[in-house]
């Protein structure tokens, strides 16, 4: 097999090998496949609607819905997590539900602390 000869700056010849693989386009890679080997796109699993609603309520609770949005976001997020866990892999959205629950819990804690501070500063008695 003939190898390409190159001369370097000192005039000596050297042998070089190209080790990079040939460039193959996507269409060329599919052209050698038979009909039974053609890749089929898998349908994406739907996202649980309660998970999305929980995330939206969790965000809105920080933007003005406060404790009411947090309560609904927490409840809906827990329902979504249960549905996703028992859905046997048919539904996704666990991350959305988890984020909604975390945002809702954090807002509930902040709302309760703020309510306690306001009532304490106003001197409201519980007699």
pLDDT in tens, 50-91: 999 999 999 999 998 888 899 999 999 999 999 999 987 788
Average pLDDT value for residue range 112-120: 91
Query: Of 99, 10, 5, 117, which Cα lies nearest the Cα of 52?
Result: 99
The full set of domain ranges for the chain reads 49-122
Lowest mean pLDDT among 22-31, 38-47, 92-101: 22-31
Give me the pLDDT at residue 66, please: 82
pLDDT at residue 9, rounded to an integer:
54
Name which residue leads in pLDDT, 41 or 49.
49
Higher pLDDT, 87 or 30: 87
Collapsing DSSP states into helix, strand and coil, what is residue 5? strand
- The pLDDT value recorded for residue 2 is 54
pTM: 0.61
Least Cα distance to 50 among 76, 69, 68, 29 occurs for 76
Query: Comparing C-alpha atoms, which of 61, 48, 49 is closest to residue 102?
Result: 61
Instruction: Give the per-residue pLDDT at 106.
Output: 95
Contacts of 17 (CB under 8 A, 6+ apart): 3
């Amino acid at each position: 097999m003939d190898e390409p000869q190159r001369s370097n700056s000192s005039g000596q010849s050297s042998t070089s090998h190209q080790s990079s693989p040939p460039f193959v386009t996507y269409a060329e890679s599919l052209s050698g496949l038979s009909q039974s080997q053609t890749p089929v796109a898998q349908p994406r699993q739907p996202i649980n609607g309660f998970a999305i609603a929980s995330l939206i309520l969790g965000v809105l609770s920080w933007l003005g819905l406060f404790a009411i949005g947090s309560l609904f976001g927490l409840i809906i997020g827990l329902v979504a997590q249960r549905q996703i866990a028992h859905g046997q892999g048919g539904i996704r959205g666990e991350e959305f539900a988890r984020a909604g629950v975390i945002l809702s819990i954090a807002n509930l804690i902040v709302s309760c602390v703020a309510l306690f501070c306001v009532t304490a500063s106003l001197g409201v008695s519980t007699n």
